[in-house]
């Protein structure tokens, strides 16, 4: 399993621009569903796009094959409530930001 610390570090590196993302399908073309991003470190992250808005992390897979799914992520408090900054949503994930 991927640890909470590993995931939080990757998310921080994405937000800080140390890691880059390449989507497999343009997020603007996905009205509601998962957008898969390949991370420059070899990992992959799936984000649920809800009508163009960044909603939640659905899945993360490491370059060595470890994987964590939505149900497992939802059991980790810091990740259940994770929301990138508005700037990160727009500029990196190419999704709108919704402040709840």
Q: What pLDDT score does 64 carry?
A: 97
25: nearest Cα among 38, 15, 16: 38
**From the centroid of its chain, how far is CA 86?**
14
Give domain limits for the chain. 4-93
Q: What pLDDT score does 100 carry?
A: 55
> Cα-flanking dihedrals φ and ψ of residue 79, to 5°?
-95, -30
92 pLDDT higher than 70: yes
d(CA 42, CA 40): 5
Map tokens 């408090």 to a residue: 77
Q: What pLDDT score does 94 carry?
A: 95
57, two tokens: 């992390």
d(CA 42, CA 62): 7
Who has greater pLDDT, 92 or 81? Answer: 92
Query: In which band, very low, low, confident or very high, does the pLDDT at 98 lie, cut at 50, 70 and 90?
Result: confident
Residue pLDDT, tens place only, 3-54: 999 999 999 999 999 999 999 999 989 989 999 999 999 999 999 999 999 9
Q: What pLDDT score does 40 carry?
A: 98
């Amino acid at each position: 399993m991927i640890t909470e610390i590993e995931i939080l570090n990757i998310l921080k590196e994405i937000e800080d621009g140390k890691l880059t993302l390449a989507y497999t399908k343009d997020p603007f073309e996905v009205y509601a569903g998962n957008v898969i991003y390949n991370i420059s470190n070899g990992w992959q992250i799936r984000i649920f796009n809800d009508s163009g808005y960044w909603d939640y992390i659905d899945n993360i897979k490491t370059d060595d094959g470890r994987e964590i799914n939505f149900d497992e992520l939802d059991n980790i408090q810091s990740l259940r409530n994770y929301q990138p900054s508005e700037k990160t949503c727009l500029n990196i994930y190419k999704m709108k930001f919704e402040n709840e």
